[in-house]
Every structure is written in structure tokens, then in C-alpha cells.
């Protein structure tokens, strides 16, 4: 079927954090919310139909997870990424962030060190610090608008790291790591005996002819040192259903992870996520193949608009995710002033760049997963605000 991503859906009555938490996040609801990483699009029709049928059953008690659930994950990874996984080494997790948190708690000592590559998703900082561990940063290096690894620093930081959290593909920079880059990182981790947890939640949102390479698919030796977090929630806009899959290198690690959740009596999907995840992976591909070019065109629109009308804000079309990294340094504002400017003058609700790299100044993150008309209005507001400076 043909999907209409230009349709503006009123989310004011569906308890959307993106909209309903504006006052909490920005101090006002008078902003266009382009922050938290979910989409303003209805999901694939087969998922909607399956959830309607599940709702009509009228009984949503404790819900078993069929073998077909993880088979759907396995088949999706094989079909989309050429990664042949073992369902016996898959575990349920409420989310990829929760997987990161548990792995930090299980596989690092108290006051241990967690290596991250900044700027990166702010939960990498938060989950580490909430667990009582220390963040050590391998700061990515910007060269002519492109971001690359500082390899000498990466290896030096590995010497004191207990675990490495990899963002593959990278949020917020939209990097699709090449095979060469991934191999080099993983071989250095093996050399220094550092376990890798690979966050691959954005791995289905890839553009410009690039290809996602699952970290654990590189070689048996590398796979033995990698735990992978994946989910249909980002791909199909199902984050409110809270379900993901962790893929382990061995049965012992899986058993430890499962015990952590079982000790809190968290080991089942809810009655709706068990249906939605399986149907999304089995029947949602047509929707995704229509979504990707729409998001890519939204990227191009923002890039062109900034070049033509707001040259003081520099950006680029990322190779992955639906999130854009805005370089606002030419506005000459501090992080606090930039935060206030976006809310009070541009009336936009964006993510502060310093949440992704605490030493950074002058960046913002913009979510383009919305109808073009909303994005057009947002850019007009931003242009007017910049011109008023």
C-alpha cells in the first residue's frame, strides 16, 4: 500500500512525551517539538491491524513469548544485514538503553571506567554515572564537517577502560561506520581485553547507499567480545511499547543478563509489544522502504534551506538515523544562550548539543522525522530568529 508521510497527525491526545512534556523540557508548550527520537508518522499498517486484532481479544494477561518472536528478529537481521544470528543467544530487554545499563552493572567493577565516543547519545553518560562508574571519552574529531576517530586517543583510553559502548550507527552524528573502521576499533578492544556493547537501534535507518555492518558479524573472534542491542522500536516508531533484543556471544553472558531481569520479575513482553515486534519485522518492510526516501528528502530540505537562508547554521545530511547535527557556533552564543534562543526566539524544541558532548559549545540536534510542512514552518521560524540577532 501507499503511505502518506505528509499527513499531519494530531498527537495532542495520545500522551506523546514529545508534545506533552514540552513544558517540563522547555518551560513552555509554545515550541515545535523536534527533539526526542520518535517520529510523527503512523506506523506500518500490518502492525496497526495486528494490534487492533489483539485489542479485540479483550484478554491481556501474562503473555508468553513464542519462538517465532526471536525468529522474526533473526530473519530480519539475515535479510537486511546479512547477519546470521542464533536465537538461543537472544534475550528480551525493555530497551537498548536498559541493556547498556545492565551490561555496565554486570561487567564493570564499582568505580570502573566506561569508554564512549563523544558527541554521543546522552544516555551513554547517564547510564554510566547512575551505575557509579566513570565516563572516559574518546572525542571524535571534526575535519571539514566530517567526524572521524582519534585513533591514538582511542587506544590510549582503552588501556584504562572496562567496557566500550559503541554507537553503530552513530547518534547524533549519523555516521555509518565502515568495515575498516569497525575492524580497527574491535581489534583494539580485543588487544586490550575490553568488552564491547554495540547499540544498533538505528541500524535500519541508513541512507545514501551506505550499508549497516553489525559489529558482531565481522568475525567469530570479534563476535565473541560483542553484545548487541537491537529493536524494532526506532525503525517502526514503536518506542512506547518498550521492547528490544540483546544478542550475546555465549550462553553464560545471556544467563547472567536474564537473571538480572528475572530477579526483578521483568522477563516478559507486554501483551501488545510481543505482537507488534514480530509483525513489524515480518510485514513492515514495505512501509520502511517508503519511509527512508521521505526522511532523506527531509534531510536535503534542511541542508538546502540553511545554505540558502541561514548560512550561519551549518549542517549536513547524515548517513543514518533521522537526526541532524546543527553547527550553530557562528551565532556566537554560549550553550545556555543558544538553548534560550531556540526556545524563546525560534520557538523550537531541540536537543542541546552539549548533552551529547559535555565539552562542546554551539551545537543542537534536530529531529526531521515529521511531515515536511512542519519542518518548513520550523525552518522559517529559525530563519526569522537568526535574522533578529
One CATH from 3.40.50.150, 3.90.226.10, 3.40.640.10, 1.20.120.80 for 61-283:
3.40.640.10
Q: What is the pLDDT of residue 34?
A: 98
Write out the residue limits of the CATH 3.40.640.10 domain(s) in the chain.
Answer: 61-283
Look-up of cell digits 520518535: 38
Which residues, including other chains, have CB under 8 Å from residue 57's CB and lie 6 or more apart? none
**Quick one: pLDDT at residue 12?**
85
In whole angstroms, give the CA distance from residue 7 to residue 40. 9
| Tens-level pLDDT at each residue, the chain (389 residues) | 999 999 999 998 889 999 999 999 999 999 999 999 999 999 999 999 999 999 999 999 999 999 999 999 999 999 999 999 999 999 999 999 999 999 999 999 999 999 999 999 999 999 999 999 999 999 999 987 789 999 999 999 999 999 999 999 999 999 999 999 999 999 999 999 999 999 999 999 999 999 999 999 999 999 999 999 999 999 999 999 999 999 999 999 999 999 999 999 999 999 999 999 999 999 999 999 999 999 999 999 999 999 999 999 999 999 999 999 999 999 999 999 999 999 999 999 999 999 999 999 999 999 999 999 999 999 999 999 999 99
**CATH code 3.40.640.10 for 17-44+285-387:** no
- pTM, to two decimals: 0.97
**CA pair distance 306, 93, nearest whole angstrom:** 40
Our measurement of the distance from residue 13's CA atom to the centroid of its chain's CA atoms, rounded to an integer in Å, reads 25
* Helix-helix angle 372-387:285-309, to 10 degrees: 20
Task: Locate CATH 3.90.1150.10 in the chain.
Answer: 17-44+285-387
- For the record, the C-alpha cell of 33 comes out as 517539538
**Cα–Cα distance, 95 to 176 (Å, whole number):** 22
Cell of residue 96, nine digits: 537498548
Amino acid at each position: 500500500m501507499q503511505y502518506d508521510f505528509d499527513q499531519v497527525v494530531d498527537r495532542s491526545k495520545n500522551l506523546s512525551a514529545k508534545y506533552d512534556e514540552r513544558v517540563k523540557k522547555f518551560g513552555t508548550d509554545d515550541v515545535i517539538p523536534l527533539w526526542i527520537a520518535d517520529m510523527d508518522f503512523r506506523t506500518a499498517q500490518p502492525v496497526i491491524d495486528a494490534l487492533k486484532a489483539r485489542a479485540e481479544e479483550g484478554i491481556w494477561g501474562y503473555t508468553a513469548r513464542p519462538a517465532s518472536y526471536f525468529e522474526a528478529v533473526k530473519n530480519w537481521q539475515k535479510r537486511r544485514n546479512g547477519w546470521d544470528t542464533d536465537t538461543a543467544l537472544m534475550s528480551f530487554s525493555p530497551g537498548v538503553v536498559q541493556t547498556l545499563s545492565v551490561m555496565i552493572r554486570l561487567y564493570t567493577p564499582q568505580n570502573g571506567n566506561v569508554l564512549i565516543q563523544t558527541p554521543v547519545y546522552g544516555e551513554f553518560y547517564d547510564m554510566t554515572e547512575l551505575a557509579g562508574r566513570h565516563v572516559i571519552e574518546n572525542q571524535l574529531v571534526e575535519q571539514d564537517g566530517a567526524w572521524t576517530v582519534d585513533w591514538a586517543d582511542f587506544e590510549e583510553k582503552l588501556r584504562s577502560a572496562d567496557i566500550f559502548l559503541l554507537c553503530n550507527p552513530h547518534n547524533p552524528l549519523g555516521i555509518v561506520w565502515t568495515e575498516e573502521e569497525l575492524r580497527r576499533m574491535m581489534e583494539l578492544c580485543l588487544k586490550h581485553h575490553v568488552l564491547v556493547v554495540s547499540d544498533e537501534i538505528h541500524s535500519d535507518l541508513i541512507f545514501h547507499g551506505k550499508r549497516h555492518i553489525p559489529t558482531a558479524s565481522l568475525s567469530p573472534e570479534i563476535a565473541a567480545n560483542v553484545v548487541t542491542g537491537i529493536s524494532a522500536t526506532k525503525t517502526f516508531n514503536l518506542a512506547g511499547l518498550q521492547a528490544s533484543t540483546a544478542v550475546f556471544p555465549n550462553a553464560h553472558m545471556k544467563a547472567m543478563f536474564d537473571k538480572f531481569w528475572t530477579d526483578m520479575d521483568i522477563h516478559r513482553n507486554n501483551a501488545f509489544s510481543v505482537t507488534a515486534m514480530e509483525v513489524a519485522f515480518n510485514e513492515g518492510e514495505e512501509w520502511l522502504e517508503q519511509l527512508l526516501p521521505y526522511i532523506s528528502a527531509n534531510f536535503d530540505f534542511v541542508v538546502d534551506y540553511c545554505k540558502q537562508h541561514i548560512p550561519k547554521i551549518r549542517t549536513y545530511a547524515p548517513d543514518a538515523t533521522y537526526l541532524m547535527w546543527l553547527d550553530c557556533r557562528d551565532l556566537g552564543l554560549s550553550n545556555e544562550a543558544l538553548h534560550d534562543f531556540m526556545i524563546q526566539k525560534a520557538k523550537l524544541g531541540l536537543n542541546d548539543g552539549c548533552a551529547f558532548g559535555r565539552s562542546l559549545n554551539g551545537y543542537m540536534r534536530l529531529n526531521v522525522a515529521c511531515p515536511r510542512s512542519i519542518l518548513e514552518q520550523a525552518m522559517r521560524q529559525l530563519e526569522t530568529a537568526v535574522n533578529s540577532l
